[in-house]
Amino acid sequence: MKNEGELNIIRPFGPGIGSTTIPKILIDKINNFVDEVIKDEKKSKELDHGQKLAGQVTQEIFLPNEMLQGDILNFLDTISKAYVENLTGKKVTKFNLIKCWVVRQFEGEYNPTHWHRGHISAAGYLKLPDSFGSSKQGKTENVNGKINFVHGSKQFLSMSIITEKPEVGKIFLFPHYMMHSVNPFYGEGERRSISFNARVDEEIYEVYSK
């Protein structure tokens, strides 16, 4: 992808949203792991954490620590530190991954408005259908399958919602409290994404302590 590894910041309202790209070698590694889990009925059930998450989707697969160790964990560590340091100007020395999982979404499924725990969260894309389906009633803006970030309320010169179209390899980083949702799409194929929750230095996170 273009500008692979470059971290960009979107700040249309209060909290900043970071975006960068996942290296293809890591996308392939995660997708291969998920594909193997899907084939194994026992493992598929063991790692399905859908009951503990907000999504109204087919399956949400927990990624175990042994699978994440090494290059994947290093990547999540690097982009998280860069994101926080870019917005705060402070050096991050700690990165504690709480949980990482893959969301498997199919036609008509969605993720309602929700937020995460920890300090920072992310949503990245591993696999997408060829089409999210057409919009209704001739509307020019098609939001099928897109992710929505929500903060505050709409005011003059101030947005409350930003909607982004997924791209394979793109990953967004945002503060854990930022509300977000995923719209349903219509058509064949799988919308496969990866998310995680993590903590960084408490001294940087706790802005009210000074």
Percentage of residues of the chain with pLDDT beyond 70: 94
**What is the C-alpha to C-alpha distance for residues 178 and 152, in angstroms, rounded to an integer?**
10
Domain residues for 153? 8-202
In the chain, % helix, strand, coil (3-state, to 5) comes to 25, 30, 40
pLDDT by residue (tens digit) across 111-160?
Answer: 999 999 999 999 999 999 999 998 887 777 899 999 999 998 888 877 88
Whether this model's pTM surpasses 0.75: yes
pLDDT band, very low/low/confident/very high, at 92 (cuts 50, 70, 90):
very high
**Mean of pLDDT values over 74-100:** 96
Task: Judge whether residue 1 has pLDDT over 70.
Answer: no
Is residue 117 included in any domain, yes or no?
Answer: yes
pLDDT value, residue 18: 94
Is residue 133 included in any domain, yes or no?
Answer: yes
Other Cβ atoms closer than 10 A to 122: 24
- Count of structural domains, the chain: 1
Task: Judge whether residue 95 has pLDDT over 80.
Answer: yes
Both tokens assigned to 146: 């897109």
**What is the C-alpha to C-alpha distance for residues 173 and 7, in angstroms, rounded to an integer?**
10
* Neighbouring residues of 66: CB distance < 8 A, sequence distance ≥ 6: none
The amino acid at residue 155 is: Q
* Neighbouring residues of 179: CB distance < 8 A, sequence distance ≥ 6: 113, 114, 115, 149, 150, 151
Is residue 88 included in any domain, yes or no?
Answer: yes
**What is the C-alpha to C-alpha distance for residues 137 and 191, in angstroms, rounded to an integer?**
24
pLDDT band, very low/low/confident/very high, at 14 (cuts 50, 70, 90):
confident
Is residue 3 included in any domain, yes or no?
Answer: no
pLDDT value, residue 125: 98
pLDDT by residue (tens digit) across 163-210?
Answer: 999 999 999 999 999 999 999 999 999 999 999 999 999 999 998 865
pLDDT value, residue 4: 64
Is residue 208 included in any domain, yes or no?
Answer: no
CATH number of the domain enclosing 168: 2.60.120.620
Is residue 210 included in any domain, yes or no?
Answer: no
